[in-house]
């Protein structure tokens, strides 16, 4: 796991701003950091993952094919942090992000049910 994070950091260094793969590199590193947080419980990993998810989302503007994925991923990271720290602004943002992701997944979209489920869970929190 740690080696994976290190490898992904190296990959990100090879994708400077403007590189076509930068958003994917940021997202993959964020996911690996979040996974490591789940395994080891180090909050700084989760905070860094959230920062990386935000950076990836910023590169995936409206119309980008992976924008809904980035919205959901950032929301899930923030929900993890809300469960750890209980900061209501994190939960508010989670709900907002899941609503935005759902809006991009119209009826019939393969990810719509997941977005509905994620939003329902966030609203229950």
Q: What is the pLDDT of residues 92-125, one digit of tens each?
A: 999 999 999 999 999 999 999 999 999 999 999 8
Please state the rounded mean pLDDT for residues 80-100.
Answer: 97
pLDDT of residue 1: 56
pLDDT of residue 2: 58
Number of domains forming the structure of the chain:
1
Q: Report the distance separating Cα 107 and Cα 96, nearest Å.
A: 19
Residues in the chain, overall count:
125
76 is in which domain, residue-wise?
2-124
Q: What does pLDDT average to over the chain? A: 95
CATH code at position 84? 1.25.40.10
Q: What is the pLDDT of residues 39-74, one digit of tens each?
A: 999 999 999 999 999 999 999 998 898 999 999 999
Q: Report the distance separating Cα 83 and Cα 34, nearest Å.
A: 14
């Amino acid at each position: 796991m740690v080696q994976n994070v290190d490898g992904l950091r190296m990959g990100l260094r090879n994708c400077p701003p403007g590189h076509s793969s930068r958003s994917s590199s940021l997202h993959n590193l964020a996911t690996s950091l979040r996974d490591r947080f789940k395994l080891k419980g180090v909050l700084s990993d989760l905070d860094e993952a959230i920062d990386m998810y935000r950076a990836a989302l910023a590169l995936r503007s409206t119309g980008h094919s992976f924008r809904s994925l980035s919205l959901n991923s950032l929301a899930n990271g923030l929900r993890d942090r809300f469960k750890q720290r209980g900061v209501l602004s994190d939960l508010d943002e989670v709900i907002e992000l899941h609503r935005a992701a759902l809006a991009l997944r119209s009826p019939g979209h393969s990810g719509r049910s997941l977005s509905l489920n994620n939003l329902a869970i966030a609203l229950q929190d």
